Amino acid sequence: MADMTAKLVPEEAMLPRPFGEMSTQRLAEVDFVLTDIDDTLTTAGRLPSLAYHALERLHHAGIVVIPVTGRPAGWCDLIARLWPVDAVVGENGAFYFVCSPKGGMVREFAQSTEERREGRRRLDRLAASILTAVPGARLSADQTFREADLAIDFAEDGPRLKDADIARIVSCFEEAGAVAKVSSIHVNGWFGRYDKLAMTRRLFSRHYGLDLDKADRNVIFVGDSPNDAPMFGFFQNSVGVANFADFLDGTATPPKWITQQAGGAGFAEVADAILRAKGGARGASRGNQ
């Protein structure tokens, strides 16, 4: 239904608006920053200091920061423990991890252990057929650290595959009954009906005691690629960093806003605007006392 509705909307209405036009009042209401990692926090495969510093500044300002990523459980465990973040949603919604200094690590999965084991057996068989069907496709270097999905690398550690090859990888997943999502570097596939938004809802409900539908105006999401579509579609404050423009053609669910800067600099642009708005709101509040 969402795709059918999108076709009824004039094309110009679907284009993201410049992030610089988002109102100060709207930014001042943001208490949660959700962000993708690859090509949103990172630039050319690296995490630049300005993006990490932006995470720290948001965290120290009391704003809840939550990476929502396709990266694997092994990476997400480290991120939850060592980065200035409050929680991590990983493997495109397969789980969330929360690390508390007092309570240790909380791990919540969308599927049971047995479901994940069975899914892994099926994905291992599917991996062999995909690599045979699409010459040049390769397992992602982080596959060993994954709990619930299969990541086929088309751009991270080797030449970028042609669009037709990427589409064929997606078809292989879907023909086997799996869900497939395309990021800027991988095609991720899994068995089960969950995504980034579904697990974010569960995190907000179980950990923060919040209904995401009611908390929408207090949340901003920053992403860069088609696998962020569920988040782009749901959040009114959904922002694509400038490199999302590479995916704009043919994307049914773009972000509502887009930054001037790409990658980590684009994320820092968002963080700076929120912190300025928050500072101005606090100053106005003190002035009215």
**Are the beta carbons of 228 and 252 closer than 8 angstroms?**
no
Kindly tell me if the per-residue pLDDT of 287 is higher than 60: no
Phi-psi category of residue 96: left, alpha or beta, with phi > 0 → left and psi -120 to 50 → alpha:
beta
**Averaged over 99-109, what is the pLDDT?**
89
113-190: CATH number: 3.90.1070.10
Amino acid 280: pLDDT: 67
What does the pLDDT look like over 59-91, one tens digit per residue?
Answer: 999 999 999 999 999 999 999 999 999 999 999
Amino acid 129: pLDDT: 97
Name beta bridge partners: 190: 179
| Predicted structure pTM score | 0.91
**Averaged over 3-21, what is the pLDDT?**
62
**Are the beta carbons of 236 and 216 closer than 8 angstroms?**
yes
What does the pLDDT look like over 145-204, one tens digit per residue?
Answer: 999 999 999 999 999 999 999 999 999 999 999 999 999 999 999 999 999 999 999 999
Name beta bridge partners: 88: 97
Q: Kindly report, as residue ranges, where domains of CATH 3.40.50.1000 are found in the chain.
A: 26-110+194-279
DSSP-derived secondary structure letter, 161: P
Kindly tell me if the per-residue pLDDT of 257 is higher than 70: yes
The per-residue pLDDT of the chain, averaged, comes to 92
Amino acid 183: pLDDT: 95
Q: Kindly report, as residue ranges, where domains of CATH 3.90.1070.10 are found in the chain.
A: 113-190
26-110+194-279: CATH number: 3.40.50.1000
